[in-house]
Chains A and B, each alone.
Chain A
Amino acid sequence: MATKPVLETRSLTKSFGSLLAVNEVDYRVPEGELCAVIGPNGAGKTTFFNLISGKLEPTAGGVFFEGEDITGFPPHAVVKKGVGRSFQITNIFPRLSVLDNVRIAVLARRGKTLDMFSPIEKHTEEQDEALEILGEVELEHKAHHPTTELGHGERRNLELGITLALEPRLILLDEPTAGMSIEETSSTIDLVKKISHDKTVVFTEHDMSVVFSIADRISVLHQGSIIAEGTPDEIRNDDLVRLAYLGEEV
């Protein structure tokens, strides 16, 4: 490995009772790459993300971000280190305006959220930045609308916008195109590619054509363990993967 890994897990393990959801996973993400984690339903992808992002505490093993041990950090501390995350189920603030959804994240990153006495509108720098981010995710024209007026794809984009507002150096995307129409999927994929130009991205995805067309590296999770890792070509030709997962699809 040439570059130092941005993210590394060592023997990362999580068990729920007798179920080993994630089993001694050693995983390394080199800087700047767009990495996919794939696997059938129940393979442990979301649990794996929850362990990295601090939502769950591992049973054993460790998580290292830029060389620093962040095992067992609560989610807000992991975010402060520079790891942003989006969710499989759209996770936004429904009764706030579109602008406020992103503005809150910008204010949080800049440490302005303990300001109790100045009106939120007076923070114009943060507002401008939030509008800029809304532009990136193509929602600028809806900034002052309630989120209830957004379509499904737009809500996914808004969620991505919230995550981008944190300026993470590593972004975890859990099924960014889940439930999207074909047009929405292709625009979100373009967005993910754009983001990955200057950030390290790890994503899970069920749509294999998406995975094989954009990922630099693919890791295959099966019953809690990584059974194969490599470039899309290597994975496509891996017998074990074909047997365990891809089946007739590739």
Chain B
Amino acid sequence: MERIPNRFGVTVLLGLAVLAPVLVQNDYYIQLCTEILIASLLAISLNFLIGYTGLVSLGHAVYLGVGAYAFALLTKNVYPSMWAGLIVAGASCALLAWFMGVFCVRLAGLYFAMLTLAFSQVVYTVAYYWRDVTGGDDGMLGIPKPEIGIPGAFSISLESFTNFYYFVLIIVAVLIFLAWKIANSPFGRVLQAIRENPERVEFIGLPVHRYKLFAFIIAGTLGGFAGGLYSTFQGYISPDLLYWTQSGEIVLMTILGGMYSFLGPAFGAGMLLFIRDTVLNFMEYWRIVVGGILVLLVLFLPGGILGSFEGWISRLSIGGNDGDETRS
């Protein structure tokens, strides 16, 4: 059964997110929270493929990178506007996903994974060697945080960490809400059906390739927005964003939190970044800790942390009435 985050949990989560800057009272942690929000969007976008459609993509960093470069190139070289930058980041990734998707969705399983990996490495190589445009391995510096508002009427500076945090929170919340709407629509249920049994979907009269392609484009577009936000957040980007290990990290977030839970990947993103920051205070090898947790998870909680937790809750609440409740 699919798990839908319940209203109470979402309210608490949103409350925490809104209060976070007040609670942590520390620029460093506000920055970390901002990064977690962006990573959450990225992981949820990937989960459209992994958890919902059953397509394990190993090239999702391509959208983080291309979205980031698109934002940087536009705001630095053409026109310094936050909205234009984000829209170009999303749109360029939508186009890229469309192009790559046409080839990728014909494949399944390992072949799909390999092709997504190959495409992302091609883009990495282009970013690495095309110095004139991307700055090569030096990357791009000085990516602006353009102020938002209505010209002539009012404007809000995003230079303060708190303002920028709230800006990111609003964008991410809106996009995640949109993703949630899609996930629970008839279209979203078809994606889950494809994950379960693509052949049977074809035999209920639906062209599976086309639906997979739509899922691919949705995932890529959301990933592109995350890339745009990341670009302006860091103010500095390099081809590392596109490298396959970065893709692997997004997959880790998804599995840590739970790919069959809508918010699981966001939870995983928060956990991964929190562990990174905490462990980095003591030693450089934070990935060992993440690796250890991952091994334990796969062995004992294959549903991921949030996924398993939701599973317990729903079993507890259903236990009484024979599971015959209708969700509405």
Interface positions of A (Cβ within 8 A of B): 53, 55, 74-76, 79-80, 84-85, 87, 91-97, 100, 103-105, 107-109, 112-121, 123, 144-146, 162, 165-166
Closest to A110 in B: B186
**18 other A-B residue contacts (CB within 8 Å) besides A113-B190, A115-B185, A119-B184:** A76-B202, A87-B200, A95-B1, A95-B2, A95-B192, A95-B196, A96-B189, A96-B192, A96-B193, A100-B193, A107-B186, A108-B206, A113-B211, A114-B187, A123-B186, A144-B323, A165-B204, A166-B205
Q: Closest Cβ of chain B: how far from A76's Cβ, in Å?
A: 5
Closest 6 CB pairs of A and B: A79-B205, A93-B196, A75-B202, A116-B187, A105-B204, A108-B204
B90 interface hit (Cβ, 8 Å) = no
Interface residues of B in 252-283 (CB under 8 A from A): 260
Is there an interface contact between B328 and A121, defined as CB atoms closer than 8 Å?
yes
B114 interface hit (Cβ, 8 Å) = no
Q: Report chain B residues within 8 Å CB of A87.
A: 200
A93-B193, A97-B1, A121-B328 known; A104 vs B204 contact (CB < 8 Å): yes
Which one, A94, A103, A112, A121, contacts B327 given CB within 8 A? A121
Which one, A74, A84, A116, A144, contacts B202 given CB within 8 A? A74
Provide the bound-state CA to CA distance between A104 and B198, in Å: 13
B149 interface hit (Cβ, 8 Å) = no
Interface residues of B in 162-208 (CB under 8 A from A): 181-182, 184-190, 192-193, 195-197, 199-208
Interface residues of B in 201-242 (CB under 8 A from A): 201-208, 211
B325 interface hit (Cβ, 8 Å) = yes
Which one, B1, B184, B197, contacts A146 given CB within 8 A? B1
Interface range on chain B: under 10, 10 to 19, 20 to 34, or 35 or more? 20 to 34
Interface positions of B (Cβ within 8 A of A): 1-2, 181-182, 184-190, 192-193, 195-197, 199-208, 211, 260, 323-328
Q: List 14 A-B contacts (CB under 8 A).
A: A74-B202, A75-B202, A75-B203, A85-B203, A91-B199, A95-B195, A96-B196, A100-B193, A113-B186, A114-B186, A117-B181, A119-B185, A123-B186, A162-B204
Q: Closest Cβ of chain B: how far from A174's Cβ, in Å?
A: 11
Provide the bound-state CA to CA distance between A166 and B99, in Å: 33
Provide the bound-state CA to CA distance between A91 and B189, in Å: 17
Which one, B185, B196, B202, contacts A120 given CB within 8 A? B185
Q: Report chain B residues within 8 Å CB of A94.
A: 196-197
Provide the bound-state CA to CA distance between A94 and B194, in Å: 11
Provide the bound-state CA to CA distance between A237 and B187, in Å: 53
Closest to A99 in B: B326
Is there an interface contact between A166 and B1, defined as CB atoms closer than 8 Å?
no
Q: Report chain A residues within 8 Å CB of B323.
A: 144-145
Q: Report chain A residues within 8 Å CB of B186.
A: 104, 107, 112-115, 118, 120, 123
Provide the bound-state CA to CA distance between A76 and B195, in Å: 17
Is there an interface contact between A109 and B325, defined as CB atoms closer than 8 Å?
no
Q: Report chain A residues within 8 Å CB of B208.
A: 76
Q: Report chain A residues within 8 Å CB of B325.
A: 144
Provide the bound-state CA to CA distance between A7 and B93, in Å: 46
Provide the bound-state CA to CA distance between A172 and B192, in Å: 25
Closest to A121 in B: B328
Is there an interface contact between B187 and A115, defined as CB atoms closer than 8 Å?
yes
